[in-house]
Chain A
Amino acid sequence: MPDFLRRTDFQSLIDALRGAGYRCIGPQVREGAIVYDTVEQVEALPWGVTDQQAPGHYRLGRTEDRRCFAWATGPQALKPLVFRSRETLWSAARHADGTIAFTGATQRCEPVAVIGARACDLAALYIQDKHFLQDAYVDPGYRAAREALFLVAVHCTHPAATCFCASTGDGPRAAYGFDLALAELEDGYLIETLSEKGRTLVGELPTRPADAAEQRAADDAVEAAATQQSRTLPSRDLRHALFANLHHLRWQEVAERCLACGNCTSVCPTCFCSSESEVPALDGARTDHLREWDSCFTQQHSYISGWTLRANAARRYRQWLTHKLGSWHDQYGRSGCVGCGRCITWCPVGIDITEEAQTICGRVAAR
């Protein structure tokens, strides 16, 4: 049976994490959206706040109950904490005699504890770990930030209309990849632990064993969060269906709505594209080599010696979708979509990945 932490003792979790040397990051309302930011007092969390999401639509509202996780997802996932939107990879200095000295960026490794990681975002982190850490080349910046993370998950109980994690199999219950997982009830939190450091931390909290009624209430809430979801992908593996439909008329049709703005790839917790650029100092004595998030929707993304391979939005949308739901299986053994629905919510024109996939692939093999 998990532990139970009363709502009035919730501050003890933040205090214990800070005492263990972590900077705590938790959800907070900023400029009309819920974002992750440094949190020291539980009062800063979004108590009584909920979100309404629809294609191209995101608004915060108030709820009756006093919960702080009664919302689905903000625009950020865990991605910006480990794969930073902009970072210096290395610097070079040129001396008077023309020689150049290169220096790799020093890796920050400040311990960070995230409170409120959702199942979809943990699944996405697992995918990005495969991309940045589990291959011949390991990204040193990602690794340093990743190893410094302590993850407090929250099982999702308030899915948005854009959510479809039940369809992708990634939520709403957080099943792996966390140190602690919380189930939020009206008067407190059930706590599960997966890691040794999670168990050590819970040992410091004023918990009591949860009772069967609390466990049942928590299970029911997550179960309901799954059944409330109405959006689905036609299958968890659309690789063959997508590549068999590369000339479907829908690619052109969706391109007529798509602004190629890259919002979808920015909010996507698994998109990993980046581009590199130079920022030389004004006196030319030093230059920084930067890496910034890029998007397969930009013109430069497919530039090859004098020409652009994907010159229009139809080609770029097709590249994105066939990769995300198709060739991702070859690369990482699963789809690149975790069902968080962010690309639907934050698309300025409300393009819905589930609808496009249904139309292009047909209603192939039900999940």
Chain B
Amino acid sequence: MGRTVSALKQAGATALELGFPFSDPIADGPILEAASGRALRHGTAWADLLVASRTASEILPTAVMTYANPVLRRGLESAMKELSTAGVSGLIVPDLSLEESLPWRGAARRSGVALVLLGAPGVSNDRIRRVARASRGFLYLVGRYGTTGASAAGTSVDLAPLVAAAHAASPDLPVLIGFGVRDRPSARRALRTGADGVVVGSALEQRIQRDPSPGSISRWLRAIVGARPDRLRNGQR
């Protein structure tokens, strides 16, 4: 775990999204769904998440991604405190809508965890502004209609207006695009919208399955990092 995260850091990752498995991951495509299932069959528990978070967060700023129920089962306040104590900087909950997020935002603020909200194509500019103002750490912008994953399923859309609306509403909040970003061309496309970065998940999971060595992971990520905005646009943001 530590070696993988270090390899990612050396190859240019600026932060880590660490997934805690859930039995019913409705926002995830086949790759992360299968990964979730494998982790649960191996008995992955909340305590393991805290251990992994401690290791990871010493190397890279770490945000935990999981669904609403494991956090609620723990209790909002205690879950946030435990994550914070384990060094976690952010929490991403793909089935937490703006409407349900109020008590979550309070608990996260009290523990010093950034609650990252998600934006998506198809929502109004007004809504993306409200989401951007409520989100902490960064805004996670879903890059297309569809679940996570590297497959061609799902349609891409023009995200530039949403990115601009989010930046206007919350100028200091970075906008990161995820879902369907898998390689250099897709990362470059995502960054052309004016976004500040990308999140890559399923493609990394696939890479780890094929060859989990730090060298392999590092080579894979370097190819994608070549698309970073500071290289593309001399760091405008």
A binds B: no
Q: Which residues of A does B touch, CB under 8 Å?
A: none
